[in-house]
Amino acid sequence: MTTKILLVDDHQIMREGLVALLERESGLQVVGEAGDGRSAVRLARQLAPDVVVMDVTMPDLNGIDATRQILEENRRIKVIALSMHADRRFVKGMLQAGASGYLLKHSASQELIKAIHLVKANRVYLSPEVAGVVVEDYKAPAADDSAFGVLTPREREVLQLFAEGKSPREIAGALHLGLKTVEAYRRQIMEKLGFNSFAELVKYAVREGLTSLET
């Protein structure tokens, strides 16, 4: 049977390379591509892929929260994180969101193909560097003081969009919220994080990997 794959990465060159790689493999079919997390959620709903290959740091909605939303709608889908970062926050965040695999972008191409087949068979695949991070975290668990442990998913969505320069009205439209609700979220986030300025919020969002500000 053909394995349907949705590719999610904000760099088109990366997506083109992955399409060329995967389409050469018998039994794998790329059925869609997305350049941001929110589009990924929408396409996963429309296309019902077997596997989503998901970047972690992306505009509009990060890969961790996109993964969570996709799997809340369809637990049958398997998600593989494909990231430049082996940072503990990202690895833990993706696995807690429900990802079945985590690979680094410098991994050999055959490793990704192997991971796709394994997660499709309901197994888990981690790159060796990532497996080390998971083992260390298991041996010496630390309190999660990252944005993914401190803020709620909705607070992270609002913070990311503010950090990427969206106005309160634009955020309200994107998230289907009232304008006063968006403003209340901003105050709530600043109080929770102990910040007094918008600039501090933006720096925090970048530092925590919610956005790279490359958009």
**Which structural domain range is residue 173 located in?**
147-207
197 falls within a domain: yes
pLDDT per position as a tens digit, 21-55? 998 999 999 999 999 999 999 999 999 999 999 99
> Which of 5-19, 98-112, 135-149 has the largest mean confidence?
5-19
pLDDT tens string 127-151: 888 887 777 766 555 556 678 888 9
- For residue 113, count other CB atoms closer than 10 A to its CB: 16
- On whether the CB atoms of residues 106 and 14 are closer than 8 A, the answer is no
Task: Name the helix (H) or strand (E) containing 91.
Answer: helix 88-97
Structurally, the chain folds into a number of domains equal to 2
Residue 20 has pLDDT above 70, yes or no: yes
CATH number at residue 158: 1.10.10.10
Last residue of a domain, one of 99, 121, 139: 139
Q: Answer yes or no: is pLDDT of 214 > 60.
A: no
List, in sequence order, the alpha helices (H) in 98-197. Answer: 109-120, 128-139, 147-150, 153-163, 168-175, 179-193
Q: Is 26 helix (H, G, I), strand (E, B) or coil?
A: coil
